Structure 1
Amino acid sequence: MYLNLKYPKVNNHFKFRKFTIKQENSVFKVGTDGVLLGCLANIDKATRLLDIGTGTGLLSLISAQRNPSISITAIDSEEEAASLAKKNCSESSFSKNIRVIHEDLNNYFSDFLFDYIICNPPFFKASKQLHQKHPVARQQIKFSYDLLFAKAKEIIDKDGKLGLIFPTEGEKEVLSKAEKNNFYPERLVYISGIRNGKIKRIFIEFSLNKKEILTDSIYIEESPREWSSQYKKLTADFYL
């Protein structure tokens, strides 16, 4: 979902309560999926977070605001995105919490383990017909779920969590690839664009330990262009 009709936008900036996201045409822009993922992730007790495919730096900044004591590493395979994320994070009041690195996930290694890994992955399979804008952010060219879970298993703490958001059509595939790497869902949130509408997205939080799965749902709009009370409550600390 990309519902940006009511985001406060001035000169290609998105102003949130405690930080501003500068945007460029070469980098995938702020959308509802990223905001949802950042707000739904259970990072209250996390101390080290890895943001994979950071883009504008949105997830890192939301995470830093939600948990001021967290240490964040943000990576992106695209030089333009890493540069923009570094700029956005360095100009925020959370700059000391966030380190941005230009690196491909496949080549990334860490000297320490993370207790939360967050990722808003490319939704579409790679094909000969590439998206004209942001092909790497939109299509799985440099990314695959096999790579994500395999790499996450190497660098996540034994009690760590992995949070993702993706279209509901991919649920079976993601769950299957997760289980192959011993990641198990412990929390699922089904997301509709509008009240009583079709479920379009799913947020899943994984861990390396099998637990009882908690399931919830949320819808974004009560009616067209009217945010639901659920969404307003979830994002109240961020929107102006």
Structure 2
Amino acid sequence: MANTYFQFKQFTVNQEHCAMKVCTDACIQGAFTAQYLVDHGFAVKRILDIGTGTGLLSLMLAQVHPAAITAVELDSGAALQARENFAASPWRERLEVKEGDVRQLAVSEKFDFIISNPPFYESALKSGHLQKDKAMHATSLGYSELIAAVAANLKPGASFSILLPHVEFQAFRTLAEAKGYHLNQLLQIKQSGKHGYFRAVGIFSAAARETVITDMDIRDMENQYTPAFVSLLKAYYLKL
């Protein structure tokens, strides 16, 4: 895999457009999912990115997989930023932004794979800042609605990837399994060996199989990036 044109450690959203920033855990989801597609996504030709924000996940997947990617974003400022990022990328011909609510998304054909870094903390208190709340809470799309949107847009037997806080992940998994989606792969993330799990990346499909579980610390006891983190992200972080 060639290094991406972005230098992700320094890339942030233009604050004139949107309050969201590129964060390390989203990069981990993108890299973990991209590797899954490299290993298992031979038949994946069309990908849907729900709640694309800046377009980070779409760009990471486009770097390593030849699929056409449709990115849906409700926030107009974030959608504008994603369009600008896509237009500046080497993969612009395969990337498309649709501004609007995924629940009203009209497509002629369902997708082979879906990725989403959805609003966090469905039941948590809100900050009072509208854009931040929309980014960090399930204000516009709750977990049940997200699963319904996945079901409406995903081909039978296909897979999807999701990033959530570790505490919230089990509730989402329960809802997903009730709708017939099984957890195939789970990446549990810790800031370091001194911390507990704080994020989880799950890849779900309708196929019921034993869950492959991987644990990863971002930093070691000397506050340096761990070999596992470097191995996963080195294709995307130009200075890693």
* TM-score, length of structure 1 as denominator length: 0.87
Letter in 2 for 1:103: G
Match of 1:7 in 2: none
Higher helix share: 2
8 Å contact kept, 1:48–1:116? yes
Q: What is the identity percentage for the equivalent residue pairs of Structure 1 and Structure 2?
A: 25
- Return the alpha-carbon distance in structure 2 between the equivalents of residues 119 and 191 of structure 1: 17
Alignment partners' CA distance in 1, 2:181 and 2:58: 23
How far apart are the structure 2 equivalents of 1:212 and 1:57? 32
* Aligned 1:120-135 pairs, distance under 5 A: 120-125=117-122, 129-132=126-129, 133-135=131-133
- In 2: Cα distance, 1:226 partner to 1:127 partner: 31
State the match for 2:37 in structure 1: 43
**3-state SS of the aligned residue for 1:227?**
coil
Deviation at 1:130, TM superposition (A): 3.5
For the residues of structure 2 that align with 1:33 and 1:127, how far apart are their CA atoms? 19
Aligned position for 1:177: 175
Q: Distance in 2 between matches of 1:127 and 1:168?
A: 14
Partners in 2 of 1:234 and 1:70 — Cα distance?
21
Match of 2:110 in 1: 113
Q: Give the deviation of 1:131 after TM superposition.
A: 4.4
Q: For the structure 1 residues 40 and 184, does the alpha-carbon distance in structure 2 shift closer, same or farther, using more than 3 Å as the test?
A: same
Query: If the length of structure 2 is used for normalisation, what is the TM-score?
Result: 0.87
Q: Measure the CA separation in 2 of the matches of 1:110 and 1:33.
A: 30
On the 8 A contact 1:19/1:61 being kept in 2, the answer is no
- Residue 5 of structure 2 corresponds to 18
Paired residues for 1:39-118 under 5 Å: 39-41=31-33, 42-44=36-38, 45=41, 46-67=44-65, 69-118=66-115
Contact 2:73 2:99 in 1 (8 A): yes
Question: How many Å separate the matches in 2 of 1:93 and 1:56?
Answer: 16
Aligned length: 224
CA distance in 2 between partners of 1:64 and 1:99 (Å): 11
Task: Please list the CA deviations of residues 207-237 of structure 1 after superposition, one character each: whole Å capped at 9, or x if unmatched.
Answer: 0121121111111001354111100000011
Could you list the per-position Cα deviations for residues 144-178 of structure 1 after superposition, in whole angstroms to 9, with x for gaps in the alignment?
Answer: 11111111112112231110111111122111110
Structure-2 separation of matches of 1:145 and 1:129: 17
Give the distance between the partners of 1:191 and 1:126, measured in 2 at CA: 21
Rounded to whole Å, the distance in 2 between the matches of 1:233 and 1:172 is 27
Q: Are the aligned partners of 1:28 and 1:137 in contact in 2 as well (CA < 8 Å)? A: yes
SS of 2:204's equivalent in the other structure is: strand
Q: Could you say which residue in structure 1 is the equivalent of 2:21?
A: 29
Q: Is 1:155 matched with 2:142?
A: no
More strand by share: 1
Equivalent residue for 1:230? 228
Q: Structure 1 residue 126: deviation in Å?
A: 6.2
- SS for the counterpart of 1:191 is strand
What per-residue deviation string (whole Å, max 9, x for no partner) do you get for residues 18-61 of structure 1? 23656222241100121011011122222211111111110010
Once residues 235 and 123 of structure 1 are traced to their aligned partners in structure 2, the CA distance between those partners, rounded to angstroms, is 23
Gaps of 5+ in 1: 1-15
- The CA distance in 2 between the partners of 1:223 and 1:64, in whole Å, is 34
Counterpart of 1:81 in 2: which secondary structure?
Answer: helix
How far apart, in 2, do the equivalents of 1:229 and 1:131 lie?
A: 39
Match of 1:165 among 138, 163, 166: 163
| SS at structure 1 position matched to 2:220 | strand
Change (3 A) 1:18 1:134: same
Deviations 1:75-98 (A, max 9, x none): 100011111100001111110110
CA distance in 2, matches of 1:202, 1:185: 12
**Aligned to 1:43, what secondary structure does the other structure show?**
helix
